[in-house]
Every structure is written in structure tokens, then in C-alpha cells.
Amino acid sequence: MSDFAVAIPLMRRAIYPGSFDPVTNGHLDIIERARKLFDEVIVAVAHNDEKQPLLPLKERLDLLRETAGKIDNVRIAQFKGLLVEFARAEKAGAVIRGLRAVSDFEFEFQMALMNRKLDAGVETIFLMPKEEYTYLSSRIVKEIARLGGDVSGFVPAAVAHTLSKKFARSHS
Ligand code: PNS
């Protein structure tokens, strides 16, 4: 190494993108795993015009801030447009996605390869959640909450509270 070379360690930064409508214990499990592998994990909520989320973007961000915002080396953010462009702007070399079951694979595979085509510098890394979360999804949690079921075992307390308020009217 030359005398002038300064040993600045490269920051290993990853993006964990998603709709997080709402954040579940499965998402939090993936965040915990990812943050052990990277110096910084940016949990990034997508503005997705094609999806009709139950919770507005601000509420999804607030719930993430409340449940994951204080975890060391985790940052909560939002992004518009292409994920690879956001990753580039944040100087992140990896995208984290949770893989629960074979049924996730086809869509995730397509997305990972497309993102690689769009930017070869962004690598997708799949992490598997704890087995007990493999059947868990935001969609199913919303359905249970909408039908008056108890979701407290699947989501953080703040999310369960938000969902029960959201659906309270339909059960009164
Ligand atoms: O939680 P989700 O809904 O499965 O997350 C999907 C998400 C937000 C990761 C995906 O829709 C996305 O990356 N959207 C940003 C737009 C984009 O880059 N599209 C091309 C990906 S192939």
C-alpha cells in the first residue's frame, strides 16, 4: 500500500425495500438479520402508484419509525421511482428481500434479475425469516384484522392498534 493510500473501510449499505402495508414481525425479523450483515440497512417504503395501500405512506413510515427506527444501523426512508436509482443515490450495493416460500420465488426472481439488468452494481440478497413467519404476510394480516381477528401475535403492538382502529367502524 502506498504511503498516500488511506485505509477508509467501505460502508456496506443495503436497502430493504417494500410496501410495508403494514410492517409485520416477519419484516422486523428480516431487518434484524440484515443489520448483522451490513453496516447500514435502509428500510425504504416505496411510493407505489399502482398499489392501493390500506395505510397512507406517512402512517406506514411512522409505524416503521416506531418499531424499527431506533435499531442501531437501521434507517427508515421512502423512495419514488426505480429502486436501483434509489440504491445508487444512497450508494447501496445490495437489495434485501425476504423469501418465505417457493410461491415468493417466481416474482422475486424476476424482480432481482430485472434490477440486475437495470444496474449490475446492485446485488439482490434473499434472507429467510424465522420459520414461524413463513406464512405471514401484510395481506393476510390485513384480512384477519378486517374480519375482526386477533393479529397481536403477527405484528408489533403499534400496528395491531392502528389496524384495530382502522377496522373498528366496520365491526361496530
Ligand atoms: O413489499 P412489496 O410490495 O413486495 O415491495 C415491492 C417493491 C416496492 C420492492 C417493488 O415494487 C419495487 O421495487 N418498486 C420500485 C419500482 C421499481 O424499481 N420497479 C422495478 C423492479 S423490477
Tens-place pLDDT, residues 42-52: 999 999 878 89
The predicted structure's pLDDT at residue 3: 57
The predicted structure's pLDDT at residue 11: 82
Tens-place pLDDT, residues 8-39: 567 899 999 999 999 999 999 999 999 999 99
Sequence-separated (6 or more) residues with CB below 8 Å from residue 2: none
Q: Which domains does the chain have, with CATH numbers?
A: 13-134 (3.40.50.620)
d(CA 61, CA 67): 10
Residue nearest to atom 6 of ligand 1 (CA): 18
Answer yes or no: are the C-beta atoms of 142 and 54 closer than 8 Å.
Answer: yes
Lookup result for grid cell 434507517: 75
pLDDT in tens, the chain (172 residues): 455 556 656 789 999 999 999 999 999 999 999 999 999 999 999 998 788 999 999 999 999 999 999 999 999 999 999 999 999 999 999 999 999 988 899 999 999 999 999 999 999 999 999 999 999 999 999 999 999 999 999 999 999 999 999 998 665 5
The pocket around ligand 1, CB under 6 angstroms, is made up of 17-19, 46, 48, 82-83, 111, 114-115
Locate the ligand 1 atom nearest the alpha carbon of residue 82 and give its number. 18
The predicted structure's pLDDT at residue 49: 75
* Residues labelled as active-site residues: 27, 51, 100, 138
Pairing of the two strands 74-79 and 94-98: unpaired
The predicted structure's pLDDT at residue 172: 55
The predicted structure's pLDDT at residue 2: 52
The predicted structure's pLDDT at residue 5: 58
Closest C-alpha to 108, from 91, 96, 117: 96
d(CA 115, CA 54): 27
How far is the first Cα of the chain from the last one, in angstroms, to the nearest whole number? 71
d(CA 127, CA 37): 11
Q: What is the CA angle 92-118-98, rounded to 5?
A: 55
The predicted structure's pLDDT at residue 39: 97
**Cis bond leading into 22, ω under 30°?**
yes
What secondary structure does DSSP assign to 91-106, as a single string? T--EEEEE--SHHHHH
d(CA 94, CA 88): 10
The predicted structure's pLDDT at residue 51: 82
Bridge partners (DSSP) of residue 96 are 125
